[in-house]
Amino acid sequence: MGGLFSLMSLARDGIAAHSAALHVTGQNVAGANTPGYVKRTATLSSTVGGGVEMSAVARNFDRFTYSQLVDQSGRLAAATARATAISDVEVLATPASDHIGDRADALFDALHELALPPSSDSARASVLARAAWLAAGFSETADGLDAFRTELGTRASEVVGEVNDRLASLVMVDEGIVAARARGEQANDLIDTRDRLVKEIAERVGARAIDAPNGGITIFGAGTVLYEARKPTTLVSSLDIGGSLRIQSNREGVLTDVTKAIDTGTLAGIRQARDVDIPGLLDSLDAFAKDLADSVNAIHTTGFGLDGNSGRPLFTPSATVKGAAHAMEVDLSVRDHPERVAAAGAAADVPGGNDIAVKLSDLARAPLAGTGTAGERFAAFAGKVGVLRTVTRSDEEMRKDTVATATSLREGTSGVSTDEEMIQLQQFQRGFEASTRVLRTVDSLFDSIFQLVR
């Protein structure tokens, strides 16, 4: 009888062990397509007396491939954020039609038409209308780029908030893992959650995690400690005196400027586009606007309107290059006064003189106050936007490839292969069936013994 009871215990242990192993395999199959899920491996071992038990559930985690994936994901996020921003800038700065180049051509065409009948009121009105349209093109483009910078600043604040939320969420997860380790238990699901949070933080601000002896982690990012000993750092977004993004870390009440240390993650891409790329384009636009206005004014102020007066600029002069595009407008002295548009080179030539109108129309083919014609200057500006778009798009595509490679390496060590899991499933199923057959055999023997006893 004692032997039969021992067999029953062995069968019971076998059923329990293989049932647990089947559960682990089922988890793997269910998590195969879940981002961040790490394969579990059930380990069965023999017990004293010849039985079997599930001694451990190992998490097939490889720190190197995971770290590579986290790092490359952060770099892709930076490239994507910058490329997306530059794509929007391209639409703002160089629309398919009615762009600054088209408007400059229209102004020079109107000046050419003025030279043919310089006494024409409609030709003069057309010059003022085209000049106002060109000035609006400069100011609207500059205002649009500035507004987009503001929008990117808002987006940066949102990203900082997302980072802070995830750092705060780490506390409870990390505490659960440390507590489980202290009890000698595994916390694989919590560790998966923690790894996902770390990756999401890295995608936003760049991060790398280091394991602590007690099962917790320390996270470094943005040139500082983002998380340590279950204490998260808070990031703060603001603008500095020059209007550029400023990111500070607040760790236990100590504020530290970490802006320059942010070189990966969505926040880095936003900062690059907002505080480097767009200001560079605005500088080019301002220089173009000032040179064009100065060149036109230099000629226009020497001419005479139908009223016989001279010295009036066509565009309001800008004292500085910076802000010239924002401020560009038709000068108040000629605004709504077509008769004041200068066409003649001398008062005695009014109303039939056209030499100033001819000189102004010839600016279409002459270098501006800086270098290059108006068409060449716009082409250079549009080319600068195009180069940025090409560079950022190429960088994004390259980063996608590196993330795909890192993902493949990570899946090779930590991912789930459904084919392998089906093989495991069959093996554990057979072990379960063998244990149940032993149990049925013991049950049948007990019945036979009871029949003999009767």
Considering the domain architecture, whether residues 83 and 231 belong to the same structural domain is answered as yes
Considering the domain architecture, whether residues 197 and 223 belong to the same structural domain is answered as yes
d(CA 424, CA 270): 47
**Average pLDDT along the chain:** 87
Considering the domain architecture, whether residues 39 and 72 belong to the same structural domain is answered as no
* pLDDT score recorded for residue 1: 45
Considering the domain architecture, whether residues 14 and 75 belong to the same structural domain is answered as no
Mean predicted confidence (pLDDT) in 387-410? 92
Considering the domain architecture, whether residues 180 and 71 belong to the same structural domain is answered as yes
The lowest-confidence range among 153-157, 221-225, 382-386 is 221-225
- Cβ pair 104, 134 in contact under 8 A: yes
Considering the domain architecture, whether residues 56 and 70 belong to the same structural domain is answered as no
Whether 289 is in a domain gets the answer: no
Residue 216's domain comprises 66-90+151-274
Query: Does the structure show a pLDDT above 70 at 370?
Result: no
Q: Total domain count for the chain?
A: 2
Q: Angle, to 10 degrees, between the axis of helix 355-362 and the axis of helix 278-300?
A: 160
Cα–Cα separations (whole angstroms), residue 63 to 126, 171, 199, 228, 408:
70, 21, 13, 19, 14
Whether 330 is in a domain gets the answer: no
Query: Does the structure show a pLDDT above 90 at 452?
Result: no
**What pTM value is reported for the model?**
0.85
* pLDDT tier, 8 (very low <50, low <70, confident <90, very high otherwise): low
Query: Does the structure show a pLDDT above 50 at 18?
Result: yes
Mean predicted confidence (pLDDT) in 419-437? 73
Considering the domain architecture, whether residues 46 and 181 belong to the same structural domain is answered as no
* pLDDT tier, 391 (very low <50, low <70, confident <90, very high otherwise): very high
Considering the domain architecture, whether residues 164 and 207 belong to the same structural domain is answered as yes
Whether 367 is in a domain gets the answer: no
Residues 111-160: tens digit of each pLDDT: 999 998 888 889 999 999 999 999 999 999 999 999 999 999 999 999 99
Give strand ranges (E) for 28-109.
Answer: 40-46, 52-59
Tokens coding 111: 């000046």
The lowest-confidence range among 7-21, 219-233, 365-379 is 7-21
* pLDDT score recorded for residue 3: 60
Q: What is the dihedral of CA 44, 48, 51, 57, to 10 degrees?
A: -20
Whether 346 is in a domain gets the answer: no
Mean predicted confidence (pLDDT) in 370-397? 93
* pLDDT tier, 25 (very low <50, low <70, confident <90, very high otherwise): confident
Mean predicted confidence (pLDDT) in 293-314? 94
Whether 239 is in a domain gets the answer: yes
* pLDDT score recorded for residue 186: 79
Whether 342 is in a domain gets the answer: no
Query: Does the structure show a pLDDT above 50 at 379?
Result: yes
* pLDDT score recorded for residue 453: 62
Considering the domain architecture, whether residues 8 and 84 belong to the same structural domain is answered as no
Considering the domain architecture, whether residues 166 and 18 belong to the same structural domain is answered as no
* pLDDT tier, 24 (very low <50, low <70, confident <90, very high otherwise): low
Considering the domain architecture, whether residues 182 and 48 belong to the same structural domain is answered as no
Q: Which amino acid is at 378?
A: F
Considering the domain architecture, whether residues 49 and 80 belong to the same structural domain is answered as no
Q: Which amino acid is at 200?
A: E
pLDDT exceeding 90 applies to what percent of the chain?
58
